[in-house]
């Protein structure tokens, strides 16, 4: 199967993948890309591919297009990893990040330390640095979030953001880029009473004192030069200091200046290559961190756009690999599945209509902040039932019609679907509780009941189901191409991803 796949990497790479490169024979790759899609397993990847296919042709067309392969899916080596933590079958990003960064199991919540949180584990990024490579960490969420932090911080609690931020500055790594830092969670007395802007100013001072160049807008980002460690933060950050969702940035392009000048994960990746390239090579970690967040919110359209944005970053690395086929290794994986996402539901059985998801124009968070919350604030006291104005917003943002607003019957909600949305509205607008916390938890999780009901109704119509608001233990693909990619074939544990990468790099992770 490996040999039959088409690769653009030329005969040399093809030969390596055919097994001509036994361990120890070829040189260690000079350029290593380690892509981690947070919350990304097969369902998230293939939902994006099937959506792209459905945009081109109805899947019910016999012989027609069913999906369009992402760049990562075209990698010649495909493995599969299990993601369990030391203390649970279903992991979190701290334990999974530790496994992927260090090749060791730990308990959920712990970063790059053993399950007793007394002994630090060495990370692949640290070993790459020791080897003389330059090291970069890129993510669409905050740079101190569990997955990226597992490569440079050794802490007992993933929420200890102040210590993680210090570890970032003291890491000696060369390029940190993407989201910001959770400065709002720094709990030292010296930060008491300071605004986030003041805290960022202090971060910038501390970074400068350590020799970092600092960019927090597009002009400064464009002007970044080689030779100094770099901290580059997107000019727009959400409530959790992450880059706004790709879907919201697209909406901003057409309807407003809202995210003008925002920097994509692909651009942060390209800049990393530009700044890190040197004779000793580089080790670049790139996390698509918000696939997970959108999956927690059971928001399929947003998941899909995050996966595509992640794949766009992978494409940058793959193009670089095409230019340096004898020196590049790209490994793509996820840390765990999220949401229990399925392609197919009880309601839709064997039919699907993923193109319907295109009717959604904002991700769950911006629909809340920009549309729903302002609407409810303008209309107090809230009417007993969903008012026509709100139905109009549901129609324009999700393509669902519960009030006979449009002439297309395909978007009409059934009586049952309408009653579900009315119940959710009642909850949000009147803080109504029917006394069943268990029923609410099953229906809405800890999300806005109105919005989660909207995404559920739209997703179900499209043929996307969700079994959970949390992570699951579904195994995660590992996709690899380039020098030493053959090592990632097979079915193995997540610690093995790091161990096989260490073997490719000719470094020792330690016991």
Residues of the shown chain interacting with Zn ion in the complex, contacts defined by CB under 5 A: 292
In the bound complex, what is the minimum distance in angstroms from residue 344's beta carbon to Zn ion? Answer: 23
In the bound complex, what is the minimum distance in angstroms from residue 245's beta carbon to Zn ion? Answer: 15
Is the omega angle on the peptide bond into residue 196 within 30 degrees of 0, that is, cis?
no
Calpha distance 223→240 (Å, rounded): 26
Coil vs helix vs strand at 40: coil
Calpha distance 130→163 (Å, rounded): 22
In the bound complex, what is the minimum distance in angstroms from residue 92's beta carbon to Zn ion? Answer: 7
**Read out DSSP for 398-438?**
H--BSSS-SS-GGGBPPHHHHHHHHHHHHHHHH----S-HH
Which letter does DSSP use for residue 341 in this model? E
Nearer to Zn ion, 276 or 295 (CB): 295
What is the total residue count of the chain?
511
Nearer to Zn ion, 370 or 468 (CB): 468
Phi-psi region of 238 (alpha: psi -120 to 50; beta: other; left: phi over 0): beta
In the bound complex, what is the minimum distance in angstroms from residue 434's beta carbon to Zn ion? Answer: 29
Nearer to Zn ion, 336 or 427 (CB): 336
Nearer to Zn ion, 292 or 484 (CB): 292
CA dist 169 → 16, 50, 506 (Å)? 38, 41, 27
Nearer to Zn ion, 292 or 312 (CB): 292
Q: Find the helix or strand (DSSP H, E) in which 321 lies.
A: helix 300-323
In the bound complex, what is the minimum distance in angstroms from residue 335's beta carbon to Zn ion? Answer: 8
Q: CB count, 10 Å around CB of 186?
A: 23
CA dist 391 → 359, 363, 372, 380 (Å)? 15, 18, 11, 16
Give residue for tokens 């309807």: 255
In the bound complex, what is the minimum distance in angstroms from residue 338's beta carbon to Zn ion? Answer: 5
Nearer to Zn ion, 174 or 337 (CB): 337
Nearer to Zn ion, 267 or 292 (CB): 292
Nearer to Zn ion, 292 or 411 (CB): 292
Nearer to Zn ion, 126 or 292 (CB): 292
Residue nearest to Zn ion (CB): 292
Give residue for tokens 């970069």: 136
In the bound complex, what is the minimum distance in angstroms from residue 291's beta carbon to Zn ion? Answer: 9
Q: CB count, 10 Å around CB of 204?
A: 15
**Read out DSSP for 55-102?**
HHS-TTSTT-------TGGG-SEEEEEE---SS-SS--HHHHHHHHHH
Calpha distance 487→490 (Å, rounded): 8
Calpha distance 373→2 (Å, rounded): 51
Coil vs helix vs strand at 383: coil
Q: By C-alpha distance, which of 474, 164, 212 is closest to 336?
A: 474
Nearer to Zn ion, 337 or 484 (CB): 337
Across 410-435, b (16+ Cβ under 10 Å) vs e yields ebebeeebbebbbbbbbbbbeeeeee
In the bound complex, what is the minimum distance in angstroms from residue 393's beta carbon to Zn ion? Answer: 29
Q: By C-alpha distance, which of 213, 214, 114, 129 is closest to 171?
A: 129
In the bound complex, what is the minimum distance in angstroms from residue 171's beta carbon to Zn ion? Answer: 24
Nearer to Zn ion, 99 or 505 (CB): 99
Nearer to Zn ion, 40 or 304 (CB): 40
In the bound complex, what is the minimum distance in angstroms from residue 44's beta carbon to Zn ion? Answer: 12
In the bound complex, what is the minimum distance in angstroms from residue 39's beta carbon to Zn ion? Answer: 5
In the bound complex, what is the minimum distance in angstroms from residue 78's beta carbon to Zn ion? Answer: 24
Q: Find the helix or strand (DSSP H, E) in which 138 lies.
A: strand 134-139
């Amino acid at each position: 199967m490996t040999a039959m796949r088409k690769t653009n990497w030329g005969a040399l790479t093809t030969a390596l993948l055919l097994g001509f490169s036994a361990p120890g024979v070829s040189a260690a790759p000079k350029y290593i890309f380690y892509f981690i899609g947070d919350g990304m397993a097969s369902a998230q990847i293939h939902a994006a591919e099937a959506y792209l296919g459905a945009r081109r042709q109805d899947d019910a067309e016999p012989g027609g297009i069913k999906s369009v392969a992402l760049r990562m899916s075209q990698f010649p080596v495909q493995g599969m990893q299990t993601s369990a933590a030391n203390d649970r079958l279903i992991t979190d990003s701290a334990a999974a990040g530790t496994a992927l960064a260090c090749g060791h199991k730990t308990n959920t919540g712990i970063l790059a330390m053993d399950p007793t949180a007394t002994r630090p584990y060495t990370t692949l990024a640290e070993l790459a640095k020791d080897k003389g490579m330059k090291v970069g960490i890129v993510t669409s969420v905050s740079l101190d979030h569990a997955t990226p932090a597992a490569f440079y911080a050794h802490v007992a609690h993933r929420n200890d953001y102040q210590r993680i931020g210090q570890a970032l500055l003291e890491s000696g790594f060369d390029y940190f880029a993407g989201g910001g830092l959770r400065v709002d969670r720094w709990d030292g007395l010296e930060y008491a009473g300071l605004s986030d802007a003041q805290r960022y100013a202090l971060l910038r001072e501390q970074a400068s004192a350590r020799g970092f160049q600092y960019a927090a807008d597009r002009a400064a980002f464009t002007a970044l030069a080689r030779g100094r460690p770099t901290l580059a933060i997107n000019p727009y950050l959400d409530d959790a200091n992450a880059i706004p969702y790709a879907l919201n940035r697209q909406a901003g392009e057409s309807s407003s200046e809202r995210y003008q000048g925002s920097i994509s994960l692909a651009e942060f990746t390209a800049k990393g290559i530009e700044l890190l390239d040197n004779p000793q090579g580089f080790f670049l970690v790139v996390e698509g961190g918000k696939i997970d967040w959108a999956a927690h919110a059971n928001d399929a359209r947003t998941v899909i756009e995050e996966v595509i944005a992640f794949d766009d970053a992978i494409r940058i690395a793959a193009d670089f690999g095409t230019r340096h086929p004898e020196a590049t290794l790209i490994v793509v994986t996820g840390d765990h599945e999220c949401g229990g996402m399925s392609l197919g539901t009880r309601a839709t059985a064997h039919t699907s209509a993923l193109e319907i998801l295109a009717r959604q124009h904002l991700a769950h968070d911006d629909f809340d902040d920009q549309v729903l919350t302002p609407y409810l604030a303008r209309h107090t006291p809230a009417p007993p039932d969903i008012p026509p104005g709100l139905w109009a917003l549901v129609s324009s943002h999700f393509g669902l019609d519960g009030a006979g607003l449009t002439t297309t019957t395909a978007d009409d909600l059934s009586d049952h679907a309408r009653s579900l949305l009315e119940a959710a509205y009642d909850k949000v607008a009147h803080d109504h509780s029917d006394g069943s916390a268990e029923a609410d938890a099953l229906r809405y999780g800890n999300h806005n009941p109105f919005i989660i009901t909207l995404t559920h109704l739209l997703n179900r119509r499209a043929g996307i189901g969700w079994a959970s608001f949390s992570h699951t233990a579904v195994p995660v693909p590992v996709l690899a191409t380039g020098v030493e990619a053959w090592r990632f074939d097979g079915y193995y544990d997540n610690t093995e991803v790091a161990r096989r990468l260490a073997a490719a790099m000719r470094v020792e992770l330690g016991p």
